[in-house]
Amino acid sequence: MSDRVKEALIWFKGILESERIDYQIVGGLAAKIYGGSRAVADIDLFIHNANAEKLLAKVGSYVSKPLTHYVEYGWDLEYFQLIYHSQKIEVGLSKGTRIQSALDGSWHRLEIDFSNSVSMCYQNVEVPVIPKDELIKYKCLLKREVDLIDIQELTENRAP
């Protein structure tokens, strides 16, 4: 499975960089990069809203979920999903994204600061990643089963 993730990440990173699109890796892949043990299900990342159409023009044949507004699984955001060689890639638009607290149902804005990304590697592929503390913070709000696993592992390993 990790080879599939790496292959898709290299492909997508190449497109993002050739189009000069800032992005930030989040979710399970970010947790894995910071030392988590869970298998990576999908590649989650954010881009600026203004870059969506430019990116979609390059990857349109891979779209499996169209760009629209979704409210699901504790998220309120605009995103689209790609499938590249059976690997899911979910691309969120940063502006206006909110996360629902599992504790009380309240909504919290997720601020993606691309300039604050941490340059890290996944299987020798260098990518910009959400800062670890911000990843833990939003996972603490969501508190899905996968988030609880990530929180435990990421707080045990406090490096980077």
The tens digit of pLDDT for each residue in 84-110 reads 999 999 999 999 999 999 999 999 999
Q: pLDDT value at position 2?
A: 56
Going by C-alpha positions, the residue among 85, 97, 6 that lies closest to residue 52 is 97
As a 3-state breakdown, the chain gives helix, strand, coil percent values, each rounded to 5, of: 40, 35, 25
pLDDT under 50 in the chain at which residues?
1, 160
What is the CATH number assigned to the segment(s) 2-156? 3.30.460.40
Task: List pLDDT tens digits, range 45-64.
Answer: 999 999 999 999 999 999 99
Q: pLDDT value at position 1?
A: 44
Q: What is the pTM of this model?
A: 0.94
Which one-letter DSSP state was computed for residue 84?
E
Which one-letter DSSP state was computed for residue 39?
P
In the chain, domain spans: 2-156
